[in-house]
Structure 1
Amino acid sequence: MEVRVTTSVAAFHDEAASFVSERVRQSPSAVLALPTGSSPVGMYRELVRRVRDGVLDLSRTVCFNLDEYLGLGPDHPQSYAQYMQHHLFGHVRVGRHHIPDGLAADPDAEARRYEERIVEAGGFDLAILGLGPNGHIGFNEPGSPPDSRTRVVELSPATRRANSRFFGSVELVPRRAITVGIGTILEAREILLLAIGQGKERVLRAALEGPVTAQVPASFLQRHPRVTVLVTPDLARRAGIGQRVSL
Structure 2
Amino acid sequence: MISLNNVTKTYRDGTSALQQVTLMIETGEFVYLKGKSGSGKSTLLKVLYGQEKVNRGQVRLADHHVHKMNNRKIHKLRREIGVVFQDYQLLSYKTVFDNIAYVLEVTGYPKEKINDKVIEALEKVGLKHKIFEYPSNCSGGEQQRIAIARAIVHDPIVLFADEPTGNLDPQNAYSILKVLHKINKSGTTVIMATHDQSLVDKMPSRVIELEKGYLTKDRSINHTMMILSSRMGEQYII
TM-score by length of 2: 0.41
Q: Which has the larger radius of gyration?
A: 2
TM-score by length of 1: 0.40
Higher strand share: 2
